[in-house]
Amino acid sequence: MSKINLKALSKAAMEEFVKEQGLPAYRAKQILHWIYEKKAESIENITEFSRELRKRLSDIAYISNLELLKRQASEDGAEKFLFGLEDGESIESVLIPDADRHTLCISSQVGCAMSCGFCLTGGIGFKRNLKAHEIVDQLTAVMKVKSENLEVESSESKIPSHPPLLKGGTGGITNIVFMGMGEPLLNLDEVVEALLRITGFMGFSKRRITLSTCGIAPAISELYRKAPHVNLAVSLNAASDEVRNRLMTVNKKYPIRVLLDACRKIPLSPRDRITFEYVMIDGMNDSLSDAKRLVTLLRGISSKVNLIPFNLFAGSRFKRPSDERVLAFQEILVRGKIYTFIRKSKGQDILAACGQLKAGYK
């Protein structure tokens, strides 16, 4: 008989487990507290329980943990973590430090089925969905690694000088973005459960969490029905279906009009905005005409735009536009009264920037 992974249990399932063991109901709350707040790595760590109870539970259950396979540090301070899963698969997470925040970019799938032309992850193909606890464990594991200050492998075999983790947030991590490997809305149920655990069990503010989607239109409204109302980022990347079809296969099923209609129906609070991510590719989607069309498309949507100059990787057929081209594009959007920012990608030297995660797959 295989042991039960306590991290795989939802709150309701944990309560049922405790009941089946003939234990008082409050034991479920205690176990969840030790797993998500005290970061217990084994049942033996739950010192609030008697030695006899720990032994009894350890005979039938365990607490899983991600295995750190590799940790790399970029010259700019970003860190990439390669984690091994229980079935031998692997995923990557990225910690991005800034002046006033530490943002953790986490994965929701092993690989990705979307095959976006500008994304290295899509070349892996889809392996499987992550379970809720595997999503949440990326946060727990990075916090553990940082607290223990484990060895770092940098792009030049040197350990760069990193700022200390900030106070506040969860273990010093101030923001979480679902922008790692995979499409979160194609793993909706597990992502929703992960969000409930991160905000409920770990006390992380939903306003500091952003979920990025390539545009699974029907699942957008479903996300807002089921999950805490986190920030939404939509990977748009084109101002016409013709160009978006060439960059993103998802557009053939959910074209721009359908995607933006779904965005307009989101029940945003007055101060909320949808972020539209726009990877700029030289000669593909970076013309002034593209910028003008984008202004028209986003009219009436409470939004902001993140311009992301394409991050190069070996074998890509795309090129990064010039800085002048990016600035001219931004100027047109600003004139159209759209909040527009140019995202400076970190971790490019260790393939940790947007669209570069590959988790060691050849």
Q: Do the domain assignments include residue 256?
A: yes
| Judgement on whether residues 242 and 319 belong to the same structural domain of the protein | yes
* Residue where a domain terminates, one of 62, 82, 103: 62
Q: Do the domain assignments include residue 160?
A: yes
Q: How far apart are CA 105 and CA 57, in angstroms?
A: 34
Q: Are 246 and 117 in contact (CB under 8 A)?
A: yes
**298: exposed, middle or buried (Cβ count in 10 Å: 0-12, 13-18, 19+):** buried
| Judgement on whether residues 271 and 294 belong to the same structural domain of the protein | yes
Dig out the tokens for 292 from the structure: 């003008």
| Judgement on whether residues 71 and 53 belong to the same structural domain of the protein | no
- CA distances 345 to 47, 123, 305, Å, are 43, 20, 15
Q: How far apart are CA 7 and CA 114, in angstroms?
A: 29
The distance from CA 306 to its chain's CA centroid, rounded to whole angstroms, is 16
| Judgement on whether residues 46 and 102 belong to the same structural domain of the protein | no
28: domain CATH number is 1.10.150.530
* Residue where a domain terminates, one of 20, 39, 62: 62
Q: What is the pLDDT along the chain (362 residues), one digit of tens a residue?
A: 799 999 999 999 999 999 999 999 999 999 999 999 999 999 999 999 999 999 999 999 999 999 999 999 999 889 999 999 999 999 999 999 988 889 999 999 999 988 887 887 877 889 999 999 999 999 999 999 988 765 555 444 444 444 445 444 455 899 999 999 999 999 999 999 999 999 999 999 999 999 999 999 999 999 999 999 999 999 999 999 999 999 999 999 999 999 999 999 998 988 899 999 999 999 999 999 999 999 999 999 999 999 999 988 777 888 999 999 999 999 999 999 999 999 887 766 666 556 656 666 66
Q: State the DSSP code for 157.
A: S
Q: How far apart are CA 196 and CA 8, in angstroms?
A: 13
Dig out the tokens for 140 from the structure: 């727990």
| Judgement on whether residues 104 and 9 belong to the same structural domain of the protein | no
The total number of structural domains in the chain stands at 2
| Judgement on whether residues 173 and 88 belong to the same structural domain of the protein | yes
| Judgement on whether residues 175 and 226 belong to the same structural domain of the protein | yes
Q: How far apart are CA 20 and CA 22, in angstroms?
A: 5
| Judgement on whether residues 50 and 163 belong to the same structural domain of the protein | no
Q: Do the domain assignments include residue 305?
A: yes
| Judgement on whether residues 82 and 188 belong to the same structural domain of the protein | yes
| Judgement on whether residues 73 and 131 belong to the same structural domain of the protein | yes
* Residue where a domain terminates, one of 12, 31, 62: 62
Residues of the domain holding 45: 4-62
Which residues are bridge partners to 209 per DSSP?
176
Q: Do the domain assignments include residue 357?
A: no
Q: Do the domain assignments include residue 213?
A: yes
126: domain CATH number is 3.20.20.70
Q: Do the domain assignments include residue 355?
A: no
User: Going by C-beta distance under 8 Å and a sequence separation of 6 or more, which residues neighbour residue 138?
Assistant: 66, 81, 83, 91, 93, 104, 106, 107, 180
Phi, psi (degrees; rounded to nearest 5) at 97: -85, 145
| Judgement on whether residues 207 and 89 belong to the same structural domain of the protein | yes
- CA distances 273 to 170, 222, 229, 301, 307, Å, are 24, 18, 12, 8, 16
Question: What residues are annotated to the active site?
Answer: 92, 354
Q: How far apart are CA 96 and CA 234, in angstroms?
A: 20
Q: Are 110 and 183 in contact (CB under 8 A)?
A: no
Q: Do the domain assignments include residue 9?
A: yes
Q: Do the domain assignments include residue 359?
A: no
| Judgement on whether residues 81 and 200 belong to the same structural domain of the protein | yes
Q: How far apart are CA 142 and CA 82, in angstroms?
A: 10
